[in-house]
Structure 1
Amino acid sequence: MTFSCRHCASPVSLTLVDLGHAPPSNAYINAEAANSAELTFPLRVGVCENCWLVQTEDFTERERLFAADYAYFSSTSTSWLAHARRYCETAIERFGLSAESYVIEIGSNDGYLLQYMKQAGVPCLGVEPTASTAAAARAADIEVVEAFFGVQLARKLVEHRRADLVLANNVYAHVPDIIDFTQGLAHLLTPEGVISLEFPHLLNLIRDCQFDTIYHEHYSYLSLLAVDRIFKACGLRLFDVERLPTHGGSLRVWGCLEGATHIQTEAVRAGLAEERAAGLDRAEGYAQFQSQTDSRKNAFLRFLLKAHNEGRRVAGYGAAAKGNTLLNYAGVKPDLMPFVCDAAPSKQGKLLPGSHIPIRPPEALDQNPPDYLVIFPWNIADEIERQLTHLKRYGTQFITSDIAEN
């Protein structure tokens, strides 16, 4: 594997993991198209040994991955809504946001976050490329520009007004041209404006073998080391970083223009030092990930085969990208997992990409309670288990994909 780094253009030849071929993880299939040919692409991740950006080898364009009927709606998760509300309350208080301020969210999805800015009386704008989620935001009376973001769009937006806060939560990893995107963020800012980005932390991905968070929609797997370099290359600097429990361990970074007066906190220096100590600036820090991934995948498959041989019923919950990565890499089909339930109406009645496992509404679990329910979005497993706790009276056991290793 050799390709050019999307940040520094250096040759990338160090492989983090090769997950074979897979379809785009959110390309859910209509039942009538189940017998049609399905596009799959190599799912390989490399490590740039110059700037230490971990990234996919690109085989498909963003327009295919984030199509008009993109099925992920952020408001489906109550815990995610609570996280968004807390974020808005914190940002408003910390930076004194008011009716005189202006907030732009890149990747605003269905308005899950900006609704709280709007309720607080802070003027705001969403930027969202997918038509289905943008329409949901507009239905909530949130102004949305339906487009992919970069420098070109930023230049148009600042003709109206520059932003005091630009946020892009769980978007940065989804960006194919990370330099154009970051330069666009910088272009939007007032002189003392701030940028806020949340993204899953590469350190946790490596430590906890979170290989199921790898899919084509995630172009980059971000460390503080890599983001610090990218910001500097675009006239920005990090001045604070927070650790979050979301998505199995995330970072929230705060940035500003190089000449702004925001003082850098000790948390930035400590975070960079921790990553160096963990080997994220050395090839050996990435050397064991493939073997760990294969061990976890094989253990999950052994569990399914054992349950099948014993006549136990296994169902899944959460038609999430995490589950699709795992199911496709393990080669799981409906014989081992007859159905997966999901609360999102946009997914119900369709089939999971690759595995072609049917997606049913949660009520299907009451009609046919399984012996085991595999929760694929393990980052919100507690929330899901609370919602479905009544299944325990049927003997259903709630598990996650690493059950066989526990």
Structure 2
Amino acid sequence: MNMQSKPASTLTQCRTCGSKNLFLFLPMGAHPPANMFAKTADPEQRQPAFELNTQACLDCGLIQVADQVPDAFFEDYLYVPSGAATMHEHFAGLASVAGEYADGGLIVDVGCNDGLMLGHAVKAGATVLGIDPAANLAPLAKERGVDVLTAYFNPETAGEVLKDKGPAKVITTTNTFNHIDDLHGFMDAVRVLLDDDGVFVIEVPWGKKIVETNQFDNVYHEHMSELSLLSIVRLGQSRGMDVVDVTKLPVHGGSMRVFMKRASLGQAPTPIVGEMLEEERAAGLTERSTYEAFAERVDELGRQLKVMLADIKAEGKTVAAYGAPAKGNTLLNYFGIGAETLDFVVDKNPLKQGLYTPGTRLPILSPDAVAERKPDYLLVLAWNFFDEIREQMSDFEASGGKFIVPLPMPRLVP
């Protein structure tokens, strides 16, 4: 049972550029926080649920969740990137880039999680520090040789680190910037800690890709923002920081790695910065009609998926889900897909096994359950890792099992 709770606050202006030119384009109803996994299947054990309303800023193309959940919901965190082989390779690449920029200086990773990226940097001989509020993840990082300061990153924390360790040559934040409410305060903290000629690196899903491939499930209370490059440029300008370079990345359905330096250095941006800003303009990221069309495609996606699942169930076939990512919980709760359709969910992350999905209360088991229970179909909720999942589940496919990949539009594989 979900218990409707009042949000901490509702935004009336853009989190990055401050504009009030906001368009509420996808109201998704009340959802429990997407990483608040239940300890029991008992629906009487209530879970708080908050409105999940999606706004777009028509001045800079930022997509944001209008309703803010209280901070304390995120201090015991269950997502770890090391569950996906794809992310090991990806973070080894980022560690190498950070190491080159740092050139022996301090690398600080904000939202370091289980220390996966910094662990690679440590192996290469770098000096590192992780900062993350999730106390339960610090011991996992420690095993990789990464020291973690368990704290929220703000100007006070940055000042303490500066006093203790000196300035950072490189500050990185991967898939954390989109979880931050006060982005201006975060940028102020970066300015406190960053060396005069240091670089700040932000890695997040790219708003243009989210819109183009119907990634409505990237929106949940913890993902407060889905960022366009323009929104980061505007945010930086307001805080004396310039975007000087950007790299397009394939992870998480299409991401960007944005490099920022102090504006006082006067460094000219590389050509790709202007090219990507032009791509965003051409894609209509500041036009109302773009988001109206996006919302219509999401409704059609839900309709097609529910028809496909109903047809499969009518044939007497069984369906389980692969992956219990936060995005999967947005999809299940918004489309109302629960235990009447899905028998169970499997996930490689041992922190989630034995728990139940928020709202829908589906049991989360180890991937071994697929071989034991032999469902006919697997709904791939972690669709961003589908290639890797398909490889892992080759026995399931060889024995006639089929995958349902829900985005950008539902399809059966093979």
For the aligned pair, the TM-score class normalised by the smaller chain equals over 0.9
Question: Which whole-Å CA distance do the structure 1 matches of 2:41 and 2:318 have between them?
Answer: 26
After superposition, what is the alpha-carbon deviation per residue over 1:299-351, rounded to whole angstroms, capped at 9, x for unaligned?
11111111111111111010111211111011111120010001111111111
Could you tell me which residue of structure 1 aligns to residue 58 of structure 2? 49
The answer to whether 1:386 aligns with 2:394 is: no
Q: Distance in 2 between matches of 1:354 and 1:364?
A: 22
Asked whether 1:158 is paired with 2:166, we answer no
Asked if 1 retains the 8 angstrom alpha-carbon contact of 2:129 and 2:146, the reply is yes
Cα pair 1:62 1:176 within 8 Å, conserved: no
8 Å contact 1:165–1:193 — kept in the other structure? Answer: yes
Matches within 5 A, 1:2-401: 3-11=12-20, 13-31=22-40, 34-64=43-73, 66-68=74-76, 70-93=77-100, 95=101, 97-98=103-104, 101-160=105-164, 161-260=166-265, 262-401=267-406
SS in 2 for 1:242: strand
Q: Distance between the aligned counterparts of 1:96 and 1:184, measured in 2?
A: 19
Greater Cα shift, 50-59 or 357-366: 50-59
The alpha-carbon distance between structure 1 residues 263 and 7, as it changes in their structure 2 partners (threshold 3 A), is closer
3-state SS of 2:214 partner:
coil
TM-score by length of 1: 0.95
The alpha carbon displacement at 1:286 in A equals: 2.0
AA at the equivalent of 2:132: E
DSSP-derived class of the 2:209 partner: helix
Preserved CA contact (<8 Å) 1:104 1:125:
yes
User: What is the distance in 2 between the residues matched to 1:276 and 1:331?
Assistant: 34
Q: Is the 8 A contact 2:122 2:145 kept in 1?
A: no
Structure 1 unaligned segments of length 5 or more: list them. none
Letter in 2 for 1:240: D
How far, CA to CA, are the matches of 1:9 and 1:96 in structure 2? Answer: 32
Counterpart Cα distance in 1 of 2:282 and 2:270: 19
Three-state SS of the structure 2 residue aligned to 1:217 is coil
8 A contact 1:173–1:222 mirrored in 2: yes
Q: 1:214 to 1:291 in 2, by over 3 A?
A: same
Structure 2 CA distance for aligned equivalents of residues 109 and 6 of structure 1: 24
1:195–1:375 distance in 2 versus 1, CA, 3 Å:
same
Distance 2:26 2:213 in 1: 14
Matching residue's letter, 1:345 = P
Code of the residue aligned with 2:114 in structure 1: it is D
What CA deviation, in whole Å up to 9, does each residue of 1:269-291 have, x standing for no partner? 11111111111123233221211
Could you list the per-position Cα deviations for residues 78-134 of structure 1 after superposition, in whole angstroms to 9, with x for gaps in the alignment? 1101100112123323x2622xx1100000000111001111111000001111112
Deviations 1:248-276 (CA, angstroms, capped at 9, x unpaired): 11111001011226441001111111111
> Is the alpha carbon distance of 1:394 and 1:79 closer, same or farther for their aligned partners in structure 2, counting shifts above 3 Å?
same
Superposition RMSD in Å: 1.7
Whole-angstrom CA distance in 1 between matches of 2:52 and 2:387? 29
| Rounded Cα–Cα distance in structure 1 between residues aligned with 2:46 and 2:190 | 39
Distance in 2 separating the partners of 1:114 and 1:363: 31
Partner Cα separation in structure 1 for residue 237 and residue 349 of structure 2: 40
In structure 1, distance between residues paired with 2:167 and 2:202: 18
Alpha-carbon distance change, 8 to 225 in structure 1, aligned in 2, over 3 angstroms: closer
Question: For residues 28 and 194 of structure 2, what CA distance do their matches in structure 1 show?
Answer: 39
Q: TM-score w.r.t. structure 2 length?
A: 0.93
Q: Distance in 2 between matches of 1:380 and 1:107?
A: 21
* Alignment check: 8 A CA contact 1:324 1:353 kept: yes
Measure the CA separation in 2 of the matches of 1:33 and 1:59: 27
Greater Cα offset, 6-15 or 243-252: 6-15
Tell me how far apart the structure 2 counterparts of residues 10 and 375 of structure 1 sit (CA, whole Å): 37
| CA–CA separation in structure 1 for the residues paired with 2:178 and 2:215 | 15
In the comparison of the two structures, how many residue pairs are matched? 401
Is the CA contact 1:212–1:323 (under 8 Å) kept in the aligned structure 2? yes
Note the C-alpha offset of 1:207: 0.9
How far residue 214 of structure 1 moved from its aligned partner, in angstroms, is 0.9
Distance, in Å, in 2 between the alignment partners of 1:139 and 1:63 is 26
Contact 1:172 1:197 in 2 (8 A): yes
2:48 partner SS:
coil
Percent identity (aligned): 33
Q: CA deviation at 1:219?
A: 0.6
3-state SS, counterpart of residue 91 of structure 2: helix
Query: 1:158 aligns to what SS in structure 2?
Result: helix
